[in-house]
């Protein structure tokens, strides 16, 4: 949550008689955003763990399965 957003939330206190639904909406948006980021990071972690498992022993760079994997063209449409 940015400083601006925190300030705009606190600014609501200038008019204490208004409904606070905007506060909930803003927090809901942030919660959803964090959920998305966590999901993306989880996917990235899974992919990196999979990649890491391809090279257990130190070998020459030209034989490293991680680098071979990375060099492969990625599928057009994920999957
Ligand atoms: Zn390697």
pLDDT band at 8 (very low <50, low <70, confident <90, very high): confident
DSSP conformational letter for 18? S
The larger pLDDT score, comparing residue 34 to residue 12, is at: 34
What mean pLDDT, rounded, does the chain reach?
Answer: 90
79 occurs within a structural domain: no
Mean pLDDT score, 47-59: 94
- pTM score > 0.85 for this model? no
The CA 63 to ligand 1 mean position distance, Å, reads 7
5 occurs within a structural domain: no
46 occurs within a structural domain: yes
Residues 33, 58: Cα–Cα separation, whole Å: 39
The CA 35 to ligand 1 mean position distance, Å, reads 33
Range of the structural domain that residue 60 is part of:
20-71
The CA 31 to ligand 1 mean position distance, Å, reads 38
What's the total number of domains in the chain? 1
66 occurs within a structural domain: yes
The SS3 assignment for 75 reads coil
How many secondary structure helices (H) and strands (E) does the chain include? 3, 0
The CA 47 to ligand 1 mean position distance, Å, reads 16
How far CA 23 is from CA of 1, 10, 19, in Å, comes to: 12, 10, 9
47 occurs within a structural domain: yes
Does the structure show a pLDDT above 60 at 66? yes
């Amino acid at each position: 949550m940015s400083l601006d957003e925190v300030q705009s939330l606190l600014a609501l206190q200038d008019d204490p008689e208004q409904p606070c639904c905007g506060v909930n909406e803003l927090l809901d948006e942030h919660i959803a955003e964090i959920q998305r980021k966590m999901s993306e990071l989880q996917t990235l972690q899974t992919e990196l763990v999979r990649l890491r498992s391809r090279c257990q022993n130190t070998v020459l760079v030209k034989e490293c399965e991680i680098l071979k994997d990375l060099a492969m063209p990625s599928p057009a449409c994920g999957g």
